Amino acid sequence: MGRERIERMFAGVRERERPGLIVFLTAGFPDMEATLELVPALVAAGADAVELGVPFSDPLAEGPTIQQSSFLALQNGVTTADCLQAAETLRPLIPDAPLVLMGYYNPVFSYGVAPFAARCRSAGVDGIIAVDLPGAESGPLAAQCQSRDISLIPLLAPTSTAASIAESCRAASGFVYCVSVTGVTGARTEVSGRGLELVGRVRAHTALPLAVGFGISAPEHVAEVGSVADAAVVGSALVRVMLDSPRDQLVERASAFVASLAGRTPQPAPGQYIPGQYTSEASR
């Protein structure tokens, strides 16, 4: 499936009124069982795709919220292999929603670029976003992804030059991620005008779907982004809700937040995770 699942999802989004909604959550925060319960519930609540954050010790593009979730996941002993295992467990539970791994390059490099791409393929991961791997350095991972039909999704920023936009769009598949601000991840009170302007600049170079992220935290932001781009990505605002929720209300509150972003009321999840189904790589 891979790239094709992403393409199908965006084709569906383009046929309807409402913009696409991509949610980000850190894998293994507050624990891996929670991640496995949350993802199908959030898809049922209206998320069209899920970015699963792979925790890293030095998340230098993250604001305080995702730094904290990443740090807590690592404290739980979550490894890259665990995240891939979680993706594999989730795959049949969300058959139509693209699953994208988002993280930093060192854990990928340490796992081995080719084994990582191969494991992504076998786990049913559709795309990869590596925050600190700009186009100029992405060659080895891009080659491994391409041969396995996995999208390596480029990030573009308001500071991106015309040349780097053109180059990234040429090599891209799946969709292009537009970073709406010059800054780190984190909820902001309004959508940055520079982010919307960036969408226009990127649109001139590609027909691929465009998603806008960083700082998107409210239903009106999603609608505003939807007026120019195909999808909005909500990360820190969701993780903030998770940080603030007691464990027994976590799934319910996170689902309600995602439903509000999608302009819907929560639905029961079609595929539901049965506790105990997941075993971490380490414990196997």
Partner 1 sequence: MLGAWLCAPTGLVFGGGGWFWVWWRWFGWFGVVMDVRGGVEWGGQWGLVGGIFGLGVLVMVGGRMGVFPDERGRFGDFGGMFVPETLMAAVAELDDAYNGVKGSEGFQGRLAGLLASYVGRPTPLYYAENLSRHLGGARIYLKREDLAHTGAHKINNALGQALLAQSMGKRRIIAETGAGQHGVAAATACAMLGLECIVYMGEEDIRRQSLNVYRMRLLEAEVVSVTSGTRTLKDAINEAIRDWVTNVETTHYLIGSVVGPHPYPVMVRDFQCVIGWEARAQILAAEGRLPDYVMACVGGGSNAIGTFHPFVGDEDVRLVGLEAGGKGLESGEHSATLTAGRPGVLHGAMTYLLQDADGQVSPAHSISAGLDYPGVGPEHSYLKDSGRAEYREVTDGQALEGFHLLCRTEGIIPALESAHAVYGAAQLAPALGGDAVILVCLSGRGDKDIGIVAGAEDVEI
Q: Which residues bind partner 1 (CB under 8 A)?
A: 56-64, 67, 71, 74, 79-81, 104-111, 131-137, 154-161, 164, 168, 179, 182-184
Closer to partner 1 by Cβ: residue 150 or 179: 179
Task: State the nearest-atom distance from the C-beta of 27 to partner 1, in Å.
Answer: 13
Beta pairing partners, 155:
177
Task: State the nearest-atom distance from the C-beta of 216 to partner 1, in Å.
Answer: 16
Closer to partner 1 by Cβ: residue 80 or 173: 80
Please name the residues in contact with 118: beta carbons below 8 A apart, sequence gap of 6 or more. Answer: 144, 148
Task: State the nearest-atom distance from the C-beta of 56 to partner 1, in Å.
Answer: 7
Contact 235/255 with Cβ under 8 angstroms?
no
Closer to partner 1 by Cβ: residue 99 or 157: 157
What angle separates helix 113-123 from helix 139-146, to the nearest 10 degrees? 40
What is the four-CA torsion angle of 242, 65, 48, 194, rounded to 10 degrees?
150
Closer to partner 1 by Cβ: residue 146 or 164: 164
The rounded distance, in Å, linking the Cα atoms of 200 and 261 is 23
The rounded distance, in Å, linking the Cα atoms of 3 and 145 is 10
Q: Which residue has the tokens 């305080």?
A: 64
Task: State the nearest-atom distance from the C-beta of 275 to partner 1, in Å.
Answer: 25
Closer to partner 1 by Cβ: residue 80 or 255: 80
Task: State the nearest-atom distance from the C-beta of 75 to partner 1, in Å.
Answer: 11
